[in-house]
Amino acid sequence: YVEDPTLLVKTDEAATDDLLKLLINVFERLRDLQKTELYIQGESYGGKLAVTLGLSALDAIKDGELKVNRLGGVIMGSAWISPGVQVLSWGPVLRDVSRLDNNGLHKAQRLAIKINEQIAAGKLVEAYDSYNDLKDRVIIDNSNGVDIFNFMLDRSDDVIVSNETAKDMSSKNEGYSYFDMLARRPPR
């Protein structure tokens, strides 16, 4: 945790190193934990870090640096490992469950391909903007406002969110998203 955004880690490796140091210190200070199994859980972008931390923890356990009985497992929930692959899956999945028609699918796929091209070219701010365009315009406009994180719901089904505000939700988002971190921009 940092209050100054310039102190945020900039790579997965740096985040993994910090988390591993934390684990080493926790298990060193709380010796009763050394008799237990370590389970690492991560969700969303943390799912990606759970994998890298699991591999680093396994090495540290073998080297005797991390004093724990053994690594019990790594759990990933809705892991956000590759944003490019993830956005390419949204259109086909929504089409398969009849939330997008073929026209919506083609629009979503064109924009998902563009996002991948932008990521590959290092145009991360543009990729972030295209990502928001995909989820907050293309998918909403072509799916009756489906919530991409739960395609069983329309955003209008949310008791807090009305149809009038569904398209405006992303502008109210606070905190760092994956693309914010990639583009190193401050939270909205």
State residue 37's pLDDT score: 96
Helix (H) or strand (E) holding 17: helix 12-29
- Alpha-carbon distance of 174 to 180, in angstroms, equals 11
Q: Establish if 188 belongs to a structural domain.
A: no
Indicate if 148 and 99 belong to the same structural domain.
Answer: yes
Looking at residue 157, its pLDDT comes to 57
pLDDT, residue 21, reads 98
**Full residue range of the structural domain in which residue 89 is found:** 83-183
Instruction: Tell me: do 112 and 161 sit in the same domain.
Output: yes
Answer for the pair 169, 121: CB distance below 8 angstroms, yes or no. no
- The two structure tokens encoding residue 162: 């009305």
Given 49, 77, 105, the domain boundary residue is 77
Note whether 129 and 101 are same-domain residues: yes
Are residues 55 and 23 in contact, defined by beta-carbon separation less than 8 angstroms?
no
pLDDT of residue 148: 80
Find out whether 148 and 138 touch, Cβ atoms under 8 Å: no
pLDDT, residue 81, reads 84
Predicted pLDDT at 172 = 47
Distance CA 133, CA 137 (A): 5
Closest CA to 135 of 181, 103, 104: 104
The answer to whether residue 104 is domain-embedded is yes
Q: How many CA atoms lie within 13 A of 146 on its CB side?
A: 22
Q: DSSP assignment of 33-66, as one string?
A: GGGSEEEEEEETHHHHHHHHHHHHHHHHHHTTSS
- Residue 128: Cβ-neighbour burial (10 angstroms; 0-12, 13-18, 19+): buried
pLDDT, position 60:
98
Q: How many domains does the chain have?
A: 2
As averages over each run of 10 residues, the pLDDT of the chain (188 residues) reads 87 94 98 96 89 97 97 89 91 93 97 97 93 93 84 64 46 45 48
The verdict on 94 and 72 lying in the same domain is no
In a domain, 48, yes or no: yes
